[in-house]
């Protein structure tokens, strides 16, 4: 049973990093093509987040229970902060509707 949990966690982390990396690549291309002036900050936030994910993967190997709770808290915190700052700024810059 423990092996099933580790396999599921491994699959989850692999899918998470693949999905995030694909999303970041597409969004970065969008920003670069449009000359977005906050691209370096946005990219830095992505890189910081991926570093956190890789740290979580290492921590998960040591303490599965604590890492599940930590994973949920870190994902929630990062997504909330990123959406409220970086993505709001990006949307305001390229939203064709008047504000």
Average pLDDT of every residue of the chain: 82
Query: Do 51 and 40 contact (CB within 8 A), yes or no?
Result: no
Q: Identify the pLDDT of residue 67.
A: 66
C-alpha to C-alpha distance for 79 and 74, rounded to whole angstroms: 8
Q: Which residue has the higher pLDDT, 62 or 22?
A: 22
Q: Which residue has the higher pLDDT, 50 or 71?
A: 50
Q: Which long-range contacts (CB under 8 A, 24 or more apart) does 33-42 make?
A: 34/94, 36/90, 36/93, 36/94, 38/86, 38/89, 38/90, 38/93, 41/86, 42/86, 42/90
Q: Identify the pLDDT of residue 41.
A: 93
Residue 3 binned pLDDT confidence (cut-offs 50, 70, 90): low
pLDDT of 98 > 80? The answer is: no
Q: Identify the pLDDT of residue 1.
A: 40
Q: Identify the pLDDT of residue 78.
A: 84
- Retrieve residue 79's tokens: 């997504």
């Amino acid at each position: 049973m423990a092996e099933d949990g580790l396999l599921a966690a491994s699959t989850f982390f692999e899918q998470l990093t693949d999905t995030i990396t694909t999303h970041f690549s597409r969004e970065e291309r969008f920003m670069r093509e449009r000359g977005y002036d906050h691209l370096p900050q946005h990219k830095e936030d992505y890189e910081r987040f991926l570093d956190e994910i890789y740290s979580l993967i290492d921590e998960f190997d040591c303490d599965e229970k604590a890492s599940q709770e930590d994973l949920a808290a870190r994902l929630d915190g990062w997504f909330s902060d990123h959406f409220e700052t970086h993505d709001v700024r990006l949307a305001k810059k390229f939203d064709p509707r008047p504000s």
